[in-house]
Amino acid sequence: MTPKNAALKAILLSGALAVSSAAYAQEIKIGFNGDLSASPSAQSGQAGVLGIQAAIDDINAAGGVLGRKLTLVVRDDLSQPPKSIQNMSDLIDNEKVVAVLGPTNSGNALAWKHIPNQKKNPSIGCIGSATDITKPGSANAENYMFRVSMVDRAQVAGLIAYAKNNPSTKKVGFLVETTGYGQGGLKDLQELAEAKGLKSVAVEKFGVNDTDMTSQLNKMKAAGVDTVLVWAQGTPIGQLVRSMEKIDYFPLTLTSWSSDNASFFDTAGKALAEKPIFMRTITEDRTPKQQQLYDRLAPKMASKSAFSFAAHCYDALMITAAAIKQAGSTDGAKMREALENLQAPVEGIMKTYNKPFSPAEHEALTAADYRWTRWKDGKLVSYSDDVVKALKPSDFAQ
Amino acid sequence: MLDVYIQTLLSGLAVGGVYALIALGFSITFTTTKTLNFAQGEFISFGAFVGVTVLLLLSGLASATTAVPGEAAAGWRYPAAVIVAGVVAGFMGILIFLLAVRPFAGKGGMNWVMSTIGFGVILQSLGLAVWGPAPVMVPSPLGDDVLRIGGAGVRPQELLVLACAILIMLALDLVMRRSRIGKAMMAVAHSPQTASLMGINVTLVMVGAFALSSGLAGVAGVLIAPIASASLFMGMGFALKAFSGAIIGGLNNPRGCIYGGFILGVFESAVGLWQAQWREIVVFGLIILVLAFRPAGLFGQAAVDKV
């Protein structure tokens, strides 16, 4: 926020305080810190804010929490880590929010995850999926980072399990982009593959802005790879399937959930978009509750495929509110204890959360909540085959 | 195996054509003003989105948020979009010269480096405000079916970019060597003071150089958009590689820049066939080698300062 805006806001706030200072002091502030405008993933951030606001509206309509109304304070981090760090201090110290939701980009969460821990202010992630976001700083350290979203490592476990149990898979190859996202994914792929006794015969990398991956694919083809596991963002996966078409080589393609992006679909085109199989939390076969929220938010969503983030963020806020209620306070340490030991089930959009977190587990959604997905006629639909049907929860072990 | 090599060569030439076109832009401003437009990357992105806007306006089709409908690029609309983007970016080139380069051109110091980068940041931020952050897929006027050449696959747009790049470069080469304007540009490049004494309007030539170079970036943006999809972040990568191509070929030799762009494209593609993750290391290693042994680039004339 610019100083000018801050000044303006201060004036407006003092005006509001004068009118209803009693009511205002009662409000509980929740923060959102994430990219809303600067990177291609900004649409996820925008959807997330819509979801949080919808949850806040629902809670306030039912009388709020502890008899107090919730309000949302939104900060755009422009996908830049320094700005994101600055936003965290601003939200926690100046705005006195009781918890921060977001962020859009995993890298930003990793850049500031020490701040919620130091300031004892819970942060509930609902968009970024990097595995390390919810890892504690050291063993047994108090950990204020929670998440209601997908986790990279759990997805990787799913892809590996699929390749491992697919009878027609003889030779697997890994294809990743050269960013932090791709490298993190490759690490997970290699570790979990080794743990499950799956051997890759080729590992290839490509740049996030590359438009032609035929060289890498030709090497995969030469190595006899029939199944590729891809970890990259939406647009480069789109370029990848286009390059597959160029050399007419279509191995079974299992990818990260980035393939659910509109940018992947637009880059690949309707026919090629149907090649990859991946996991995400919501397909277009929505549950009644999901459909209800979708109908409510769809008119405001620029990108409909970002709806899952609205659902995650809705649930994150519901769980936060349940923690405040159980703690009987907005004190950060008490909220963390309540989060790690929620007594009453929380009715969410994704599912009903029964004790979603524990001191050791800070992920509310696990591989069991994921859906196998692929594009079909321009829609994200559930995917199932004999391999998917035969997968057991134990196959997803990490 | 032959088809793999043909594939590598074709893919490399297609990307190299883009590099060459933008590298030529770098060369044009460098030879006339001894400055470079470090906002070239943003001009590419900007041009691409101007093209998107023109396609939508002309076809009267609504844009889905992230893709321009295929029929919007049909017929004369795509060429019109290319020309408009070139003209608008050229106009922005005049602006950047007047606002960010002219006060510093021909003087010592590196102020123009910062001011052109700053101009690019402003342009990108304005672009984000107008068009938003999402990449937009642009249809190719020639369709999207893969063409097979000797067992290798290539898309029509890649051939179009290659053809356009070669045509534009031939035309400019002719203008630079045969016409009065070209001679005036070379005179300014040689010595602005002398050129001025000979009655050449030096400022006008410099403005023209920036307009031309920026216009080329705008044209390149619309040409690349169906391959890379239009994004406000797409230009940087292409511009950096194009600049590398220009350095390899020789910044003060327009033809050399073109060769440099193609060499870099094919080289990248070939390294990808070996170890793709080593590509950047090998490419920039090559640049350092070239600079060490031929400081003026492979095709550049060594700069000899006459006293």
| Pick among A211, A239, A249, A300 to test the B interface (most B CBs inside 10 A) | A211
pLDDT attached to residue A10 = 55
Mean per-residue pLDDT, B79-95: 96
Nearest to B228 among A43, A211, A215 (CB): A211
The predicted structure's pLDDT at residue B303: 52
- pLDDT value at residue B306: 44
Q: What range does the domain containing B89 cover? A: 14-232
Q: What is the pLDDT of residue A18?
A: 46
Of B227, B228, B272, the CB nearest to A215: B272
Q: Is residue A15 part of a domain?
A: no
Of A209, A248, A303, the CB nearest to B153: A248
Nearest to A215 among B228, B234, B273 (CB): B273
Contact call for B65 and A214, based on CB within 8 A: no
Nearest CA in chain B to A240: B228
Mutate one of A44, A215, A241, A260 to test the B interface: name it (highest B CB count within 10 A). A215
Instruction: Answer yes or no: do A266 and B229 touch at CB < 8 A.
Output: yes
Which regions of chain A does DSSP assign to beta strands (E)? 28-34, 70-76, 99-101, 123-125, 145-147, 172-177, 200-206, 227-231, 252-255, 277-280, 346-347, 352-353, 371-376, 379-382
Distance from CA of B280 to the nearest CA of A (A): 9
Same domain, A313 and A213: no
Q: Which of B11, B145, B269 should we substitute to test contact with A (largest number of A Cβ atoms within 10 Å)?
A: B11
CA distance B280 to B289: 14
A235 in any annotated domain: yes
Q: Is B240 in CB contact (< 8 Å) with chain A?
A: no
The count of structural domains within chain B is: 1
**Cβ of residue B152 closer than 8 Å to a chain A Cβ:** yes
Which residues from A are below 8 Å from B240, CB to CB?
none
CB pairs under 8 A between A and B: 102
Q: Are residues B200 and B15 in contact, defined by beta-carbon separation less than 8 angstroms?
A: no
Q: Indicate whether A14 belongs to any domain.
A: no
pLDDT at residue number A19: 46
Pair A87, A220 in one domain? no
Q: Tokens representing A6?
A: 């801050």
Asked, as a colleague might, if the bond just before A103 is cis with ω within 30 of 0, I would say yes
Beta bridge partners of A125: A147
Percent of chain B with pLDDT over 90: 50
Residue B140's SS3 state is coil
Q: Would you call B128 an interface residue with chain A, using a CB distance cutoff of 8 Å? A: yes
The whole-number pLDDT of residue A9 equals 58
> How far is Cα A229 from Cα A204, in angstroms, rounded to an integer?
11
The answer to whether B227 contacts A211, with C-beta atoms less than 8 Å apart, is yes
Which of A178, A204, A209 has its CB closest to that of B234?
Answer: A209
Does A293 fall in a domain? Answer: yes
**C-alpha distance from residue B77 to each of A2, A130, A255, B140, B226 (Å):** 42, 43, 36, 11, 14
**B257 part of a folded domain:** no
Q: Which domain holds residue A387?
A: 153-279+371-396
Instruction: Tell me: do A177 and A273 sit in the same domain.
Output: yes
- Measured between beta carbons, the chain B residues lying within 8 angstroms of A38 are 128, 133
Same domain for A302 and A268? no
Q: Residues A300, A183: one domain?
A: no
Residue B159 included in any domain: yes
Contact B65 A205 (CB under 8 A): no
- Whether the CB-CB separation of B30 and B36 falls below 8 Å is answered with yes
pLDDT, mean over chain B: 88
Q: Identify whether residues A219 and A359 lie together within a single domain.
A: no
The residue of chain B nearest to residue A204, with distances taken between CA atoms, is B276
Residue A21 maps to a domain: no
| pLDDT tops 50 at residue B63 | yes
| Residues in B touching A247 (Cβ below 8 Å) | 7, 152-153
Q: DSSP assignment, residue B229?
A: -
Is the CB of B153 less than 8 angstroms away from the CB of A214? yes
Phi, psi (degrees; rounded to nearest 5) at B219: -60, -45
What pLDDT, on a 0 to 100 scale, did the predictor assign at position A137?
A: 80
Answer yes or no: is B280 within a domain. no
Whether residue A234 sits in one domain with residue A337: no
Does residue B122 fall inside a structural domain?
A: yes
Asked whether residue B100 is assigned to any structural domain, the reply reads: yes
**Chain A partners of B132 at a C-beta cutoff of 8 Å?**
37, 42, 302
Name residues of chain A where pLDDT drops below 50. Answer: 1-3, 15-21
One domain for residues A175 and A100 = no
> Tens of pLDDT along B280-295?
888 899 889 988 998 8
Please tell me if residue B130 touches chain A, with a CB cutoff of 8 Å. Answer: no
Alpha-carbon distance A315 to A349, whole Å? 6
> Residue A41's closest chain B neighbor by CA?
B134
User: What is d(CA A210, CA A179) in angstroms, rounded to the nearest whole number?
Assistant: 12
B277 CB near a chain A CB, below 8 Å? yes
Using a CB–CB cut-off of 8 Å, the residues of A that contact B are 37-40, 42-43, 178, 204-207, 209, 211-216, 218-219, 222, 235, 242, 245-248, 262-263, 266-267, 269, 302-303
Question: How many domains does one find in chain A?
Answer: 2
Q: How many residues does chain A have?
A: 398
Inspect the interface and report whether the beta carbons of A215 and B227 lie closer than 8 Å: no
Q: Which residue in this structure is represented by tokens 């009655």?
A: B199
In a domain, A214, yes or no: yes
CA distance A228 to B103: 55
- A41 and A137 in a single domain? The answer is yes
Q: Looking at the domain assignment, is residue B116 inside a domain? A: yes
* CA atoms in the 13 A half-sphere facing the CB of B87: 7
The pLDDT confidence band at residue B146, using thresholds 50, 70 and 90, is very high
The answer to whether position B286 is within a domain reads no
Where is average pLDDT lowest: A93-97, A245-249, B148-152, B244-248?
A: B148-152
Residue of A nearest to B147 (CA): A246
Q: Are residues A208 and A340 in the same domain?
A: no
User: Does A269 share its domain with A388?
Assistant: yes
Instruction: Assess if residue A330 is contained within a domain.
Output: yes
- Same domain, residue pair A293 and A381: no
CATH number of the domain that residue A97 is part of: 3.40.50.2300
Q: Given CB atoms, is B159 within the 8 Å cutoff of chain A?
A: no
Residue B62 at interface with chain A, using a CB cutoff of 8 Å: no
Token output for A313: 């963020």
Q: Does some domain include residue B94?
A: yes
Least Cα distance to A349 among A333, A365, A334 occurs for A365
- Round to whole Å and give the CA distance between B283 and B292: 14
Query: Does residue A190 form part of some domain?
Result: yes
| The pLDDT of residue A21 | 47
CA distance B198 to chain A (A): 47
Per-residue pLDDT tens for A236-283?
Answer: 999 999 999 999 999 999 999 999 988 899 899 999 999 999 999 999
